[in-house]
Amino acid sequence: MTVALCPGSFDPPTSGHLDVIRRCARLFERVVVGVVINPSKQSLFSLEERVGFLKAAVADLPQVVVRHHQGLLVDFARREGAQVLVKGLRAVSDFDSELQMAQMNQTVGGIETMFMPTSPAWSFLSSSLIREVASLGGSVAGLVPDSVAEAMKERFHE
């Protein structure tokens, strides 16, 4: 069975993330969506919230599970039995750092990376822009899963 790991910070998950995860679920028998904790980075949403958003958004996909990890990505992949990392690419600007990480993960962990082009509809989306728009009072409805849009409204109208 081929297991794919879709890793990220998911702070918060966007429609672009969900698009990649859903397309990945059509290709692999099991998909692990992995929330990676970066202790040196301040996050808007807690780990539990991010895992909850993702679980709700993939509840209709039995082959997809949501897990979390702190530490090296290749150790996460090994723990979950994943043979491949799947990363979305929005534009050529994503490519430099993603190529570097893919080569590092191949070298230190022997794990392959596959890149999935983001759907053009979502190529402008990033979690950081979503946070900025929502924090300044803009609507992010449709750009993020419904549970995220609700949580952002509550967070910034508090």
Q: Which is nearer to ligand PNS, 47 or 101 (CB)?
A: 101
Tokens standing for 1?
Answer: 């069975």
41 as an active site residue: the answer is yes
Give the residues across from 77 on adjacent strands. Answer: none
Residues 69-128 that bind ligand PNS (CB under 6 A): 72-73, 101, 104-105
Q: Which range binds ligand PNS by CB under 6 A, 7-15, 50-58, 135-143, 147-155? A: 7-15
Q: Which letter does DSSP use for residue 144 in this model? A: B
Q: Which residues contact 131 (CB under 8 A, 6 or more apart)?
A: 11, 12, 44
13 touching ligand PNS, by CB under 6 A: no
9 touching ligand PNS, by CB under 6 A: yes
Backbone angles phi, psi at 89, to 5 degrees: -120, 120
Q: Which of 4, 6, 8, 86 binds ligand PNS (CB under 6 A)?
A: 8
> Alpha carbon 10 to chain centroid distance?
5
Tokens standing for 22?
Answer: 């859903």
The least CB distance from residue 108 to ligand PNS, in Å, is: 8
CB atoms within 10 A of CB 11: 22
**Which residues are the active-site residues?**
17, 41, 90, 127
Interacting residues toward ligand PNS by CB under 6 A:
7-9, 36, 72-73, 101, 104-105
